[in-house]
Amino acid sequence: MSNHTYQFPENFLWGGAIAANQAEGAYNQGGKGLSTQDVAPKGIMGPITEEPTEDNMKLIGIDLYHRYKEDVKLFAEMGFKVFRTSIAWSRIFPKGDELEPNEEGLQFYDDLFDECHKYGIEPLVTLSHYETPLHLSKEYDGWVNRKMVGFYERYVTAVFKRYKNKVKYWLTFNEINSILEAPFMSGGIYTPKEKLSKQDLYQAIHHEFVASASAVKLCHEIIPTAQIGCMMLSMPTYPLTPNPDDMIKVMEFEHSNYFFGDVHVRGRYPGYMKRYFRENGIEIQMEASDEEMLLNTVDFISFSYYMSICQTADPEKQIAGEGNLLGGVPNPYLPASEWGWQIDPQGLRYVLNMFYDRYQKPLFIVENGLGAVDELITGADGEKTVEDDYRIQYLNDHLVQVGEAIEDGVEIMGYTSWGCIDVVSASSAQLKKRYGYIYVDRHDDGSGTLERYRKKSFHWYKEVISSNGKSLQR
């Protein structure tokens, strides 16, 4: 251990992140309509149901809807400067295509944001986080339909006007590039993935780009002091071997992800995508004003980082990695989590440098964390806790690399680790895959008291924040 300390910026936004659909619960309260998550009891990969079913952990989540005061107080105890959450679109527009918003839904977020401000915590709000109103998915086939742009504009206008004095940081779509692998969850597309044409998929992506740019424009008009960013799933990709064929494979795969950042930051479609469209017979239907709208580019780039992957051109080596949302081949040099996610702290420094070199815009790490099975025990002080040294190690090692990237000259706004309080996992819809600093007593069979307990990592993160990163162990 060296005694080198990293110089995190004075105003660095330390905090944590959750999503409404994984935490709030109260799926049918306060006038909320059904969302796509209410019929996805098994997460990304599982089948969807006709109606909400009791085995869907997200219907109750961790009951943040009723317990947010207790939870925000715990975040404040850790010293959070920022709290990333999302607004459930179907709380504001229950079906998604109404003309007027639902007042009870608007009031809930007023109360939540007020509670944050009570402790000096800034909300960082995702406008659409994997929870399209179910009616928009079934009736319009989600983002495949151009009409979604107007519905989204109406929704974001309502929340910008309502929270213009309460929210300074906004994100348009969570992990927007995940639509490539999870079109229902990410894009509300009801057509089954195997029946979805590339034409339809990229047309849906175009609609999201136009909607995202429109949200940027509206945000700048309605809340001139606010900042609004895009949000991508980052997936640094290494060649499996130094064979140039593998390197070209890496380039093509990275293009498929950079595409989303390039449009958000540069305001136009890149040449490599135009080639892909030509070679795959894709013709994006654009309205006359779309190109001009896309020039409303984001103020910053935010992203999630969980793992890196490898690519190879050798068909015999094409072994899919367990749990890799965007495909890829496992790296023989890296360990993996219990869910098969490979652990690569240096990949975070690498991706921070890559994004910053490419875009020269501030970056915000809005998800990073370790999903693991935690055991609740009684600690030496008689309090229930979790000895999660494995999580501390993971987060410490990643934050050390954030420190390295800052020394590299990368401009980083903040860090919100994923699932700062245990939430229902998006990928597997389990609660046993825990991420938080705070243990929630709820289990996959539905049992539990919903009581909150501070894990060992809670006290560790509190020290990281109070020392502004100086307590990190290199």
> Active-site residues: which are they?
175, 367
Residue 432 main-chain phi, psi, to 5 deg = -70, -15
Calpha distance 199→144 (Å, rounded): 10
Q: For 120, what's the count of Cα atoms within 13 Å in the CB-facing half-sphere?
A: 8
In the chain, what is the straight-line distance between the N-terminal and C-terminal CA atoms, in Å? 6
At residue 249, the 3 state secondary structure works out as: helix
Residue 432 DSSP class: S
**Whether 393 contacts 400, CB under 8 Å:** no
Q: Which two tokens stand for residue 412?
A: 């980083």
Residue type, 85: T
- Give helix 345-359 / helix 244-266 axis angle, nearest 10°: 60
Calpha distance 10→5 (Å, rounded): 14
CA distances for 208 relative to 92, 100, 143, 176, 328, angstroms: 19, 22, 7, 8, 25
The CA-based angle 228-131-340, given to 5 degrees, is 95
**What is the helix (H) or strand (E) element at residue 137, kind and residue range?**
helix 134-140
Q: Single out the residue of 170, 191, 161 nearest to residue 179, CA to CA.
A: 191
Q: Single out the residue of 95, 82, 177 nearest to residue 124, CA to CA.
A: 82
DSSP assignment of 343-408: P-HHHHHHHHHHHHHHH-S-EEEEE----B----EE-TTS-EE---HHHHHHHHHHHHHHHHHHHT
Q: Single out the residue of 404, 388, 303 nearest to residue 337, CA to CA.
A: 388
